[in-house]
Structure 1
Amino acid sequence: MESHIEAIQHLGAERIALATRWPDTLNDRIVEYLGQAGIDVRAVRAEQRNLLQHKSADPEADHHLALRLGRSAMAAAPDAQALMLPGGLWFAIHAAPLLEAEFGVPVLLNITATVVRNARRARIAAHVSGRRGRSAAGRLGRGWAKPRTFRINSRSLHKIGHCLV
């Protein structure tokens, strides 16, 4: 969660929309925690799943779920300055650039927030190649220090994501 908070603050966002696959009790705690960091969660959209469902998720179904929940959260919070889709076992990496293009706001995933945070701390500019050469880190990957650069494709990023988050 700290990577998300740091990323949201880096982007200068004060109002966000939240889309999750978690129960309402956890979402309520996340909203409270983000509020303590000065982040106003304007809308929450969720479809509760258990750990077994997360582990056996179909990548295509997860992609469509991320699009559906992300769109619903943004529709409910048109003044949101960012969209957060937390969860380490969520195949949402390809949904993020689509949602960014559709709503014009940064989309934060566990893996992108964590990689960019660690790259920033290591003073490395992270360029994460997504579909058709688009940056999978999206707007979040912009504006960091650039003494060294590395490239990683989104498939590899997803594989290492479980180790990083």
Structure 2
Amino acid sequence: MTDAATTVGILYPGYSAEDDYPRAEGLLGDGSRLPLVHTEMREDAHRVDALLDIGGDEVLATGAAQVAAKAGPLDSIVWACTSGSFVFGWDGAAAQVAALQEVAGVPASSTSFAFVDACRRLGVTRVAVGATYPDDVAERFVEFLGTAGISVLSLSARGIITAAEVGTLPADLVLDFAAAADHPDAQAVLLPDTALHTVELLDDLDARVGKPVLTANQVSIWQGLRLAGADRGRPGLGALFAAG
């Protein structure tokens, strides 16, 4: 397989920051494809019951079939939703990915595991988290990271209920939010919401905070490429991609 032939299927719930993915295709600049389908979201809410619903096996299986029909053969597939994966807990999120991989027939992952693998790639074990979610949902992400041995030194939660609202946040606010979420002893800042536009801000985020800032859409794309065997250094997409 060559990098130029890499096709990563993206399953994305609802409508908010899905345009980050075609933007990322342009920034990758090597012909890699990130075909995306919108999976069913019966209710747009950062609430546990709604998140369990959008991450159900049947919903993802339908999405996998749709993205394969749209794009042809895939090299990997990613459930591009952080809260709709970590809300199941570590074991539940692992079962979710296993079921997706079985129906898709290619390596699969989710954004929650992508954050863990990205931290491991960078040697990061202490983080600060800037979450757009309500407190109870954000705490589940903290627990998920803790299971992987990643310590959350500080948690900032904005309490935004809908992904649609998160998708409207302007670049200057995203930069300010990341800087405010930092902790002096954290090795990286994590922004765990694929509804947040960040792909065109990745280098600016790292520069503003003075350390790696890992964002949901960034780690989702990186994970898909890594699983597809197209993991190499790429400029313009933050410290994670620069690490190769």
Q: How high is the TM-score relative to the length of structure 1?
A: 0.72
User: Any stretches of 5+ residues in structure 1 without a counterpart?
Assistant: 129-133, 145-165
Q: Are positions 1:107 and 2:218 aligned together?
A: no
The structure with the largest strand share of the pair is 1
User: Any stretches of 5+ residues in structure 2 without a counterpart?
Assistant: 1-111
How far did 1:35 drift?
1.0
**What residue number does 1:154 align with?**
none
Q: Does the Cα contact within 8 Å between 2:198 and 2:217 map onto a contact in 1?
A: no
Deviant stretches of 4+, over 6 Å? none
Distance 1:56 1:47, change over 3 A: closer
Instruction: Let me know the Cα RMSD of the aligned residues.
Output: 2.0
Whichever of the two has the greater Rg, that structure is: 2
3-state SS of paired residue (2:115): helix
1:59-103 residue CA offsets vs partner (Å, 9 max, x unmatched): 4x34233222211111xx111111111111111233432221133
Report 1:8-157 matches (<5 A): 8-51=119-162, 54-57=163-166, 59=168, 61-74=169-182, 77-125=183-231, 135=236, 137-144=237-244
How far did 1:42 drift?
0.8
Q: Does the Cα contact within 8 Å between 1:16 and 1:80 map onto a contact in 2?
A: yes
Q: How high is the TM-score relative to the length of structure 2?
A: 0.50
Matches of 1:58 and 1:38, distance apart in 2: 30
How far did 1:104 drift?
2.7
Aligned amino acid, residue 107 of structure 1: V
**What residue number does 1:161 align with?**
none
The number of equivalent residue pairs is 133
Matches of 1:80 and 1:96, distance apart in 2: 18
How far did 1:56 drift?
4.5
1:91-122 residue CA offsets vs partner (Å, 9 max, x unmatched): 12334322211333111111111111111122
